[in-house]
Amino acid sequence: MLSIGGGVGSYYLASSEDTRQIATYLWNKFLGGQSSSRPLGEAVLDGIDFDIEGGTSQHWDELAKYLSQYSTRGKKVCLTAAPQCPFPDAWKGGALKTGLFNYAWVQFYNNPPCQYSSGMHGNNGSHLFMPQIFS
């Protein structure tokens, strides 16, 4: 799994064409595609994790769609995300709504409506978030 994004920096996909090119790059360099220069040598990763915490929210849904199109019967491209709670995540809410993600590692911390605090019972964070993605 290759995680893209992170909590530092500002990153974005400029256009649909840029998004398609990034998907092709990720496929050829890290996933099941072919390239004369692969950063991890012959290692083939099984998916991409979206940890988008800055930049813009545009085109991440398209990236998920382009990457999922590389899936075959024998080899599925796994898509995961590390969204902020509550739903929809400001950066990748549109991508999550595609229904293409296999797992979501929700960041329930640093978000008062969702995080657990001492003495708090019956936290709804996961109830607010999970049915929206996996329904």
Gap between the Cα atoms of 38 and 80, Å rounded: 22
17 catalytic? Reply is no
Distance set, CA 16 to CA 45, 116, 117, 119 (Å): 24, 39, 41, 47
Contact indicator for 90, 46 with CB cutoff of 8 Å: no
In the chain, count H helices and then E strands.
4, 4
Q: Which of 17, 42, 53, 62 is catalytic?
A: 53
Gap between the Cα atoms of 90 and 88, Å rounded: 6
- Residues with catalytic roles: 53
